Amino acid sequence: MSEQVTLEAEFLRRALEREDNAERVAVTPGTLPPDLPVTLPDLPGMRVLGGVRSVLPGWTFASPGSARAAAAGPVRLQWRAFLDIPAPQPQVMDALLGRFTEQGWQESQVFQQVFVEAARSEWAATALEPARTLGVQSRQQGGVTQVELTVADTDPGQVEHLRGRWSHPHFADQFEPPLPTLILPDGWKGQMQTGQGGPIRSQLSALRPPPGPAPDPAALLAHFLPQLERQGWRLLHREDGPESLSVHRTPLGVGTLSLRVKDGGLSALIVHVTAEEGRGSSRVTVPVS
């Protein structure tokens, strides 16, 4: 049972922002912040605790001896919303991420973990027009999933970077092909161990099953294949055994996924090789059919 506390809006504005910018903060108890750039799915029993819209800190720069600082950049906003939803965390996250994906948000590729738990608690995404970032955090508290949403204005270059692309000409040959997101079966845990960027992108992870029978690489591969297909990885070849392997044609080249038993769990290696013209193809030749 939550405790009801009455707070003055002016107190909240001052607590959330520097005093000289307090008038630029909107605090909305019980409702979403003004002009929130996302729409929420219709989830039964959803309660909006409140929201905040604020101005992100701006910076001005001056070289030594200059008379004044350079003009500040455009005003950038940040929105935060806090929700309670009486439903299991996986169900809530599936509904939220599905709705945001429909609205054009793309999952961030930088520091992306390919293998995620079924009850995932975090998600980061970007939109390009206008350039914004979106963060979703959740946790289960009894029968309620608590959710915090954060949307922030940014610049197109940052969006390109978070999507694994480099817009600066010096990095024109450092395109990183995207990796898929694969949801593990219930009870499984995943931990990224190493990764490699560039035109040949890879990630090695340790996957731990729940207590029970020894893990079966072929069964886990069968669990992942429909997810890969939905993300544009078309199956070309499959091998099952002590080490299960699948080879895929992707929109940008070729991808592989291998699973093998190791230390009571499974070692998972996923590789994506790009064949995109001008983005690493001068160094890598990818035969595809």
The tokens describing 244, both together, are 């299960």
Q: Which residues contact 259 (CB under 8 A, 6 or more apart)?
A: 207, 217, 220, 221, 243, 244, 245, 266, 267, 268
Instruction: Give the residue from 199, 193, 195, 203 showing the smallest Cα distance to 256.
Output: 203
pLDDT of residue 57: 81
Q: Digits of tens for pLDDT over the chain (289 positions)? A: 456 666 666 666 665 655 445 557 889 999 999 999 999 999 999 999 999 999 988 654 444 554 444 445 678 999 999 999 999 998 999 999 999 999 999 988 666 789 988 877 888 999 988 999 999 999 989 999 999 999 999 999 888 878 766 555 544 555 667 899 999 998 898 988 998 877 889 999 999 999 999 999 999 999 999 999 999 999 999 999 889 999 999 999 999 999 999 999 999 999 999 865 444 444 444 444 4
Give the CA count within 13 Å in the CB-facing half-sphere of 57.
Answer: 6
Phi, psi of 158 (to 5 degrees): -65, -40
Q: Are 219 and 236 in contact (CB under 8 A)?
A: no
Alpha carbon of 244 to those of 27, 207, 218, 226, 234: distances in Å? Answer: 53, 14, 6, 16, 17
Q: Tell me how far apart the alpha carbons of residues 28 and 13 are, in angstroms, rounded to a whole number.
A: 10
The tokens describing 170, both together, are 């010096």
Q: Are 148 and 36 in contact (CB under 8 A)?
A: no
What pLDDT digit, counting tens, does each position of 138-183 carry?
Answer: 998 999 999 999 999 999 988 887 876 655 554 455 566 789 999 9
Q: Tell me how far apart the alpha carbons of residues 170 and 80 are, in angstroms, rounded to a whole number.
A: 36
Indicate the DSSP class of residue 169.
G
pLDDT of residue 133: 96
What pLDDT digit, counting tens, does each position of 102-143 carry?
Answer: 999 998 866 678 998 887 788 899 998 899 999 999 998 999
Q: Which residues contact 211 (CB under 8 A, 6 or more apart)?
A: none
Q: For tokens 């027009």, what's the residue?
A: 129
Q: For tokens 């993300």, what's the residue?
A: 231
- Helix (H/G/I), strand (E/B), else coil: 201: strand
Q: Where are the alpha helices (DSSP H) in 103-245?
A: 156-162, 217-230
Q: Which residues contact 152 (CB under 8 A, 6 or more apart)?
A: 56, 76, 77, 78, 79, 132, 133
